[in-house]
Amino acid sequence: MGPSSVALLLAVISLTAALDNGMLKTPPMGWMAWERFRCDIDCKDDPQNCIGEKLFRDMADRLVEDGWKELGYEYVMIDDCWTSMQRDEQGRLQPDPSRFPGGIAKLARYIHDRGLKLGIYADIGSHTCMRYPGTPLDKIVIDAQTFASWGVDYLKFDGCYSNPIEHMLGYPLMSKALNATGRPIGYSCSWPAYEGGLPPNVNYSLLGEICHLWRNYDDIQDSWDSVQDIIGWFANNQDDLQPAAGPGRWNDPDMLIIGNFGLSVHQARSQMALWAIMAAPLIMSNDLRNLDNSARAILQNKMAITINQDPLGIQGRRLLQEKSRIEVFWRPLSNSASSLVFLSHRTDMPYLYHTSLAKLQYEPGNYEVYDVFTSSTVKGLNATTVFTVSINPTGVVMWYIYPRKQSRQQVERLRHQQRKKTNVFRKFKAEHHSVL
């Protein structure tokens, strides 16, 4: 197939592939297996942690019983390594029978009965990244139909063992095939991550028409270095990435690793804060059965979640990158509110950062501030007032900011005071007319 034929086929696909199911108007929230449990398939010696139906039932139970579901964490996501090494006689993907003895449809019912949703994983190539059966172009329709018949609610479609032409054809084709099933299925594309993540290789206008969200960059690892690398890449390329995001179409910097082994408490707050500012999916990959209280408090922080889930859906931006290794991020929110994050890349000691809202491009006026992680408030902060925040090494200060609105009584009092001043001036002017 020549380049002109490919371009024509892609144009036809894109005209018919738009995801028109009204899903994911705010970033998805839930839990995914990959970063924490990888491809552990040893259910004989490690039955608590292997990729099998018990693990996903356990996580569903935790989401419901430990307060996650009511905060919005509703997806239970299967990642790689779930399938048998062979398709069935009808050419359909099938789960490994020893690790998923009840099948995916039964697991979906278990999850749905708890008011949750099930996500699953496939790959556009000949094999998945861990060399399980892939979904090449001729298998896209049957795999979409299979997922829908099982009651799957979300598909992560990876891109290993394939090439740019297959990506260009396969990702829109899967979108069309999912639509054709009639079942609302969230669609996560890994396409940009395999094409460098940036224009001109990545067409974000097309992605917004065919996918609900997409992986842009490298897989996250359980380390602060990995989190910093992802934050830096998104900030350095925000002029290309930030406009692509909005309700129903999200940039995905990958999973939340809070509660695992690689982040301190301050670094965990930093990841939560920046993912909220970036309007990123809040998909945890940890062991919800063994989560300490500090990790739970960060991941269940209601204000951080509220900021992340803001219905305007505008992705935040980095405003400043200081020589002191402090960075300032900002996100506009509904009802004239906004959020600021002061991030420290320092490793020595807490840093006192001095600024004002006016210096951060805020309009004149008075504002009230809620500190997301300390729950403290600042009232009546004028835009021109210089303030100081103390930011711990590799940590953040995260603010929710809203204009101070005057009550009707305050407005009437100000008007009355203005009228009094006007009357006093008129009287003075009349009495001193000859002088004036």
pTM: 0.91
> What is the pLDDT, as a whole number, of residue 22?
85
Cis before residue 200, ω within 30 degrees of 0? Answer: yes
The contacts of residue 21 (CB under 8 Å, 6+ apart) are 179, 184, 185
CB-CB neighbours of 398 under 10 Å: 27
Q: Which of 176, 213, 209, 224 is nearest to 191 (CA)?
A: 213
Instruction: List, for residues 139-173, the tens digit of each pLDDT value.
Output: 999 999 999 999 999 999 999 999 999 999 999 99
Q: Which domains does the chain have, with CATH numbers?
A: 3-308 (3.20.20.70), 317-403 (2.60.40.1180)
Phi-psi region at 335: left, alpha or beta (left = phi > 0; alpha = psi -120 to 50) = left
> What is the pLDDT, as a whole number, of residue 268?
99
Q: Which of 260, 140, 259 is nearest to 189 (CA)?
A: 140
Provide the 3-class DSSP secondary structure of residue 118: strand
Secondary structure letter of residue 70 according to DSSP: G
Distance CA 295, CA 418 (A): 52
> Is 158 marked active-site?
yes
> What is the pLDDT, as a whole number, of residue 405?
77
What angle (nearest 5°) sits at the alpha carbon of residue 255, between those of residues 390 and 175? 135
CB-CB neighbours of 355 under 10 Å: 17
Q: Which of 145, 108, 107, 140 is nearest to 123 (CA)?
A: 140
**Catalytic one of 123, 143, 158, 310:** 158
Q: What sections of 376-407 are H helices per DSSP?
A: none
Distance CA 201, CA 210 (A): 16
Pairing of strands 213-215, 186-189: parallel
> Is 219 marked active-site?
yes
What angle (nearest 5°) sits at the alpha carbon of residue 195, between those of residues 231 and 157? 85
Secondary structure letter of residue 348 according to DSSP: S
**Catalytic one of 40, 58, 219, 222:** 219
Instruction: List, for residues 252-293, the tens digit of each pLDDT value.
Output: 999 999 999 999 999 999 999 999 999 999 999 999 999 999
pLDDT block averages, 10 residues each, the chain of length 436: 48 53 94 98 98 98 98 98 98 98 98 98 98 98 98 98 98 98 98 98 97 98 98 98 98 98 98 99 98 98 98 98 98 97 98 98 97 96 97 98 69 55 52 44
